[in-house]
Amino acid sequence: MNYEGNVIRPPSEADSIILQVTVGCSHNRCAFCGTYRDQLFRLKDEGVVDKDLDFAARYCQRQKRVFLADGDVLSLPQKKLVDLLTKIRNRLPWVNRIALYGNAKNITRKSEADLHQLKELGLARVYMGLESGHDPTLATIDKGVDAAKQIEAGRLIGRAGLFLSVTVLLGIAGIENSVAHAGATGRVISAMQPSQVGILTLMLLPNTPLFEQAQRKEFALPDQTGLLKELYLIVENIETDRMQLQANHASNYLPINCRLPKDRDAVLAAIEKALHGETALKPEHLRAL
């Protein structure tokens, strides 16, 4: 397989065929993200992608899923996406799920009919970085959209019958807006109604604007107690009929994997225990991105 630059994928795509269709991220301005900082976003040559499909057809017949990298394959014109998914269906007929990252801008550039068409061709799951539901925080981190646009994108994915997995970041608002960020994030998740929510904890990376702000004392991460309070508020503010919530990423101090609303009381009680020092938190040396 031909890979260029930093190729990343969600944890749940660990066993998928990773087919890199674009290089970099179409937005690439988020203040906390250093993944594609030095890469110019572009589409990969179709001939290269075709060769990767040939490789997958020969050597990846035990893998039933495909993840389309990099940062935002939904930025491709509809015809190119249709052609790509058709090729996957024809050349990897055993594949039963295709997934990709999508940001709110590019999701909302698609119509519901467009997304239905992609679903019919095998697209099943969209991963979307919400980060925060707090508009001042979204502006500060240069997310490029406000909470209303994120909600619009999430609802569009839902109406198209696709599985929506949303990620949020503990600590992204710093100390000053920590409580406002957490409450707003829970409420925006409620408005979006994703199938899955993944909660990560911000880890400052040296090649990012947010790291530089922290060096200048213009940004400060909440401490462990503050981060646990954010987690509590997010869970407390989510209203849903059915949702999977996971805060078991390696960056988190307190691993959680639950179903809402069924496990809400148990999860809130577990966070309370951690806040009172009755549960051991993950040591720093075991935390990672």
Contact status, residue 137 vs residue 172, Cβ threshold 8 Å:
yes
- Per the document, the length of the chain is 289
Contact status, residue 70 vs residue 8, Cβ threshold 8 Å:
yes
Amino acid identity, position 207: N
Of 174, 154, 286, 146, which is closest to residue 230 (Cα–Cα)? 174
Contact status, residue 41 vs residue 28, Cβ threshold 8 Å:
yes
At residue 177, the 3 state secondary structure works out as coil
- How high is the pLDDT of residue 92? 98
- How high is the pLDDT of residue 37? 87
Tell me the pLDDT tens digit for each residue of 41-95: 999 999 999 999 999 999 999 999 999 999 889 999 999 999 999 999 999 999 9
Pairing of strands 163-170, 123-131: parallel
Burial class (CB in 10 A: 0-12, 13-18, 19+), 169: buried
Tell me the pLDDT tens digit for each residue of 164-191: 999 999 999 999 999 999 999 999 999 9
- How high is the pLDDT of residue 39? 87
Asked whether residue 289 carries a pLDDT value surpassing 90, the answer given is: no
Asked whether residue 151 carries a pLDDT value surpassing 90, the answer given is: yes
Asked whether residue 5 carries a pLDDT value surpassing 90, the answer given is: no
Tell me the pLDDT tens digit for each residue of 213-258: 999 999 999 999 999 999 999 999 999 999 999 999 999 999 999 9
In eight-state DSSP terms, residue 189 is H
- How high is the pLDDT of residue 101? 95
- How high is the pLDDT of residue 72? 83
Structure tokens at 199: 């909660």
User: Cα(136)–Cα(146) distance, rounded to whole angstroms?
Assistant: 9
- How high is the pLDDT of residue 140? 97
- How high is the pLDDT of residue 116? 98
- How high is the pLDDT of residue 173? 98
User: Cα(159)–Cα(262) distance, rounded to whole angstroms?
Assistant: 24
Tell me the pTM: 0.96
Asked whether residue 6 carries a pLDDT value surpassing 90, the answer given is: no
> What element of type H or E holds 100?
strand 97-101
Structure tokens at 198: 């993944």
What class is the 11-276 domain?
A: alpha beta
- How high is the pLDDT of residue 267? 98
User: Cα(286)–Cα(264) distance, rounded to whole angstroms?
Assistant: 27
